Amino acid sequence: MILAQLTRRRAHDSTLTKSRYNVLLVLHKFHYYPKLTASGQYPTFAQRQRLYHQDANYMMPLSTQETSSTQPASAGPIQNGSTSSLSDLAKTNLIFQSGSHQQTYTLETKTTSIHRLTDLPDADAQLFKPASNPPPGAQIFALTTEATIFHPQGGGQPSDIGTLSTLPEYGSNQEGQKFFEVAMARTSATNIGTVLHFGYFIDESIAQPGPSSLPVIQVVDSDKRHLYSRLHTAGHVLGTATRSLLEDKIEDFDELKASHFPDAASCEFKGSIDGKYKSEIQTAVDQLVDKDAEVRIGWWRKEDFRNRGLERLLPSDEVWTQIATQVDESGDEVEGSTGPDDEVTRIRVVEIVGFEVYPCGGTHVPSTKGCGKVSVKKISRSKGTSRVSYLVD
Ligand SMILES: [Zn+2]
């Protein structure tokens, strides 16, 4: 499909959401641009770069954030013990949150800044606890990018790990050149909404702290991501199954926080759940997995929660203001919306269709069967709350 056709289709086909359009554009870039020259030659790397930048629609974000290539310098000259602010950096476009990108493991984007770990504000530097072990003595950096496919640690879900590569140059392999290992991704503590990709350089010639605008390909470790998505979705399944079973049997029952780390996955509930319920919870979990219910990502207004009788899931007004954005129900940006925040802003939810809804920013498998076998391990109780731990095979 050539770009003009794709653009025309975007204009007339309402089912071609912006996020799906972006995916097609990425495919188009990789598979079409290399065939562009009239003489039948592959374009040079510089020609590809020009084509990439000429396409104004390329990677239009899901949010309305400006790209940060024109942002003022945030790192500046490096000084020992510097606590340079990250506040000038634009929010990162969280591609992994799009319903159509739950199983997307690569992304073409651009760097926006490079910081040494030691130059970050303390609150950001302290976030780094590597999910993979850097080589001894490796100097740790934090890279920011316009968009990311890396799920940062949060909401009970571990960080993705992976690599950053330069764009493929003619004559090189299809994956470009790996130049950075991402050992952990976290959301900045000093600039909420900007994702820090912590790790170390394989190619140290690129390790130039300061503002940066390098086209890169992000690749996440797909095996780990898939495991984390299964564990995370299994947490929703366990919560749903336990609620359906015990909501009417246990006083003050409610779902609390959850953790989806391998070997430490558990859901916490308000109320005391007796150990005798373990086999019944297991049966309810198995039934919900077997039903293969769709796990659907959506974006809801406050009104949508009220219409479904799910006010209990609404975050506080303060939290709503922090996390709600002006997008449509698919998470695609909307332009020109005005009105009270409550009416035009939405938060991301995951719906186990026909069963339960959770406000959630994590990554999921497409249906409950994708969790595989979920085994309830143990029920423990403490101070009026109960913890149900589980494993996936
Ligand atoms: Zn979730």
95 Cα–ligand 1 center, Å? 15
> What is the Cα–Cα distance from 374 to 369, expressed in whole angstroms?
10
70 CA from centroid of ligand 1 (Å): 34
Q: Ligand 1 centre and the CA of 45: distance in Å?
A: 40
Q: How far is the CA of 280 from the centre of ligand 1 (A)?
A: 23
Residues with CB under 5 A from ligand 1 (ion): 350, 360, 362
137 Cα–ligand 1 center, Å? 36
Predicted confidence (pLDDT) per residue in 186-221, tens digit: 999 999 889 999 999 998 888 999 999 999 999 999
Q: What is the DSSP string of 228-291?
A: HHHHHHHHHHHHHHHHHHHTTTSTT-EEEEEE--TT--EEEEES---GGGHHHHHHHHHHHHHT
Give the distance (Å) from ligand 1 centre to CA of residue 158: 12
CATH fold for domain 226-392: Threonyl-tRNA Synthetase; Chain A, domain 2 (3.30.980)
Name which of 67, 73, 349, 83 is nearest 236 in CA terms.
349
pLDDT tens digits, 218-248: 999 999 999 999 999 999 999 999 999 999 9
Report the separation in Å between the CA atom of 27 and the middle of ligand 1, taken as the mean of its atom positions: 27
pLDDT at 5 over 80: no
> Average pLDDT for residues 49-72, to the nearest whole number?
29
CA of 383 to the centre of ligand 1 (A): 26
CATH number for the domain formed by residue range(s) 64-70+85-220: 2.40.30.130
Helix ranges restricted to H, the chain: 3-12, 18-31, 45-54, 122-125, 222-246, 278-290, 302-307, 317-323, 341-344
The rounded Å distance from CA 362 to ligand 1 centre is: 5
* Residue ranges of domains in the chain: 1-60, 64-70+85-220, 226-392
**pLDDT beyond 80 at 20:** no
Q: How far apart are CA 97 and CA 329, in angstroms?
A: 13
CA of 172 to the centre of ligand 1 (A): 38
Share of the chain above pLDDT 90, in %: 57
Is the confidence at residue 39, as pLDDT, over 60? no
The 3-state DSSP class for residue 391 equals: strand
Q: How far is the CA of 361 from the centre of ligand 1 (A)?
A: 6
